[in-house]
């Protein structure tokens, strides 16, 4: 039976558990749905709407960081490099290894504008893809520093606002040196080698930090926290939505390269979603569905990695962007079950066995009594 720690905010866990399952739906459409299915069908419209929930995961990350016991800059750096390491390992497993095994469809390679055989430079490009784990890793470096320099809840909020307003002005800035340019792309890249650049996506995490600090100041009152999120969310949606209506190309552009209005709107939209999650956990009795979502939340990183790897490897069987609505609807539950099966009967059992062996080894160690 899953045990939820008492110091966790259940609404945050519920939202994060839902988010990681929705990611599987989005990625299944991206990889297997043909262009018509993605852009001209009800399924494409629904899934693209679902994809707007990614900031909910990032806001939850910021809240969780402020509530964790270990917030030292050393542990933040350690955790950052760990997340970056598994992020690049994921890129290797989902892109580079299938290329080396020659099981990636040619039209997937052609989508990059490349021709087969894939070159070493092409594989380096794939390995360096900036996904949400790269964003989380780099953000943790900054989060530890911000937390070290100030405990004032308004500092992350001010930084978030500055990032929101200034991102478009530095988007795509490079200096012409390959290695440094890649680091700059991770910060504010405008090309498709980085999907989640720190600017502006870090602003969502900082908003989460602000609310997490506020939550602690208010004696951990969940009702106050989520009521504040609702008010802030509606306000940000109105401001951001108005800016997008005024100049959509500048303020929203495309989903991965947001302007100020788009960032504010999505921040507000996802704060409202978190309030709805709180409404659910307070109004609906805990049940197996909730416990399942809490389970997914506590394994969000490994589930995220697994789903990307199995979906990309599946291209060797199902091809790339070959299917219409019906086939994609069949593939979605298949990949959800496959991902959760690998998690439950693969990683969970592996970690459980390793933990059991460690405990057995400790129990067998002789007790040494010091003579003093």
User: What value does the mean pLDDT take over residues 59-75?
Assistant: 86
List, for residues 52-63, the tens digit of each pLDDT value: 888 999 999 999
Rounded to whole angstroms, the Cα distance separating 31 from 28 reads 5
Neighbours of 186 (CB within 10 A): 21
Instruction: For 130, list phi and psi in degrees, rounded to 5.
Output: -85, 100
List, for residues 84-101, the tens digit of each pLDDT value: 999 999 999 999 999 999
User: What value does the mean pLDDT take over residues 159-174?
Assistant: 93
- Calculate the dihedral angle through the C-alpha atoms of 251, 65, 226, 268, rounding to the nearest 10 degrees: 0
pLDDT of 372 reads 43
What letters, b where the CB count within 10 A reaches 16 and e where it falls short, cover 10-47?
bbbbbbbbbbbbbbbbbbbbebbbbeebbeebebbeeb
Sign of the torsion angle spanned by Cα atoms 336, 339, 340, 345: positive
Judged by DSSP in three states, 33 sits in strand
Confidence of residue 368 (pLDDT cuts 50, 70, 90): low
What token pair was written down for 341?
A: 């099966």
pLDDT of 297 reads 94
Degrees, nearest 5: CA angle 152-158-163 = 140
Rounded to whole angstroms, the Cα distance separating 216 from 213 reads 5
Sign of the torsion angle spanned by Cα atoms 23, 25, 28, 34: negative
- pTM, whole model, 2 decimals? 0.92
List, for residues 98-142, the tens digit of each pLDDT value: 999 999 999 999 999 998 899 999 999 999 999 999 999 999 999
Q: Which of 32, 62, 67, 29 is nearest to 48 (CA)?
A: 29
């Amino acid at each position: 039976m899953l045990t939820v720690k008492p110091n966790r905010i259940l609404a945050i866990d519920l939202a994060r558990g839902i988010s990681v399952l929705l990611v599987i739906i989005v990625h299944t459409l991206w990889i297997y749905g043909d262009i018509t299915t993605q852009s001209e069908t009800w399924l494409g419209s629904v899934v693209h709407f679902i994809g707007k929930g990614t900031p909910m995961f990032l806001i939850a990350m910021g809240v969780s960081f402020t509530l964790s016991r270990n917030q030292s800059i050393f542990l933040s750096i350690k955790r950052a490099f760990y997340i970056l390491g598994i992020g690049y390992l994921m890129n290797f497993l989902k892109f580079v290894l299938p290329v080396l095994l020659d099981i990636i469809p040619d039209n997937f390679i052609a989508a990059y504008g490349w021709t087969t055989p894939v070159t070493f430079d092409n594989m380096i490009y794939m390995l360096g893809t900036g996904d949400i784990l790269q964003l989380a890793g780099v953000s943790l470096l900054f989060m530890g520093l911000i937390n070290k320099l100030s405990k004032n809840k308004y500092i992350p909020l001010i930084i978030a606002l500055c990032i929101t307003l200034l991102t478009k002005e530095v988007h795509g800035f490079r200096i012409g040196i390959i290695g440094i340019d890649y680091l700059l792309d991770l910060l504010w890249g405008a090309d498709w080698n980085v999907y989640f650049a720190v600017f502006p996506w870090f602003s969502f995490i900082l908003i989460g930090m602000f609310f997490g600090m506020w939550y602690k100041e208010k004696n951990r009152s969940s009702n106050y926290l989520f009521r504040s999120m609702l008010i802030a969310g509606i306000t940000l949606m109105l401001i951001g939505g108005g800016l997008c209506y005024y100049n959509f190309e500048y303020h929203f552009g495309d989903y991965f390269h947001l302007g100020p209005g788009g960032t504010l709107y999505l921040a507000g939209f996802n704060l409202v979603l978190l309030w709805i999650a709180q409404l659910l956990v307070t109004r609906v009795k805990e049940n197996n569905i909730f416990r399942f979502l809490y389970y997914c939340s506590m394994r969000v990183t490994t589930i995220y990695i697994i789903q990307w790897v199995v979906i990309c490897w599946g291209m060797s069987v199902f091809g790339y962007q070959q299917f219409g609505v019906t086939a994609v609807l069949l593939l979605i539950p298949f990949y959800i079950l496959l991902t959760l099966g690998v998690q439950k009967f693969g990683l969970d059992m592996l970690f459980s066995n390793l933990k059991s062996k460690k405990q057995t080894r400790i129990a067998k160690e002789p007790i040494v009594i010091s003579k003093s």
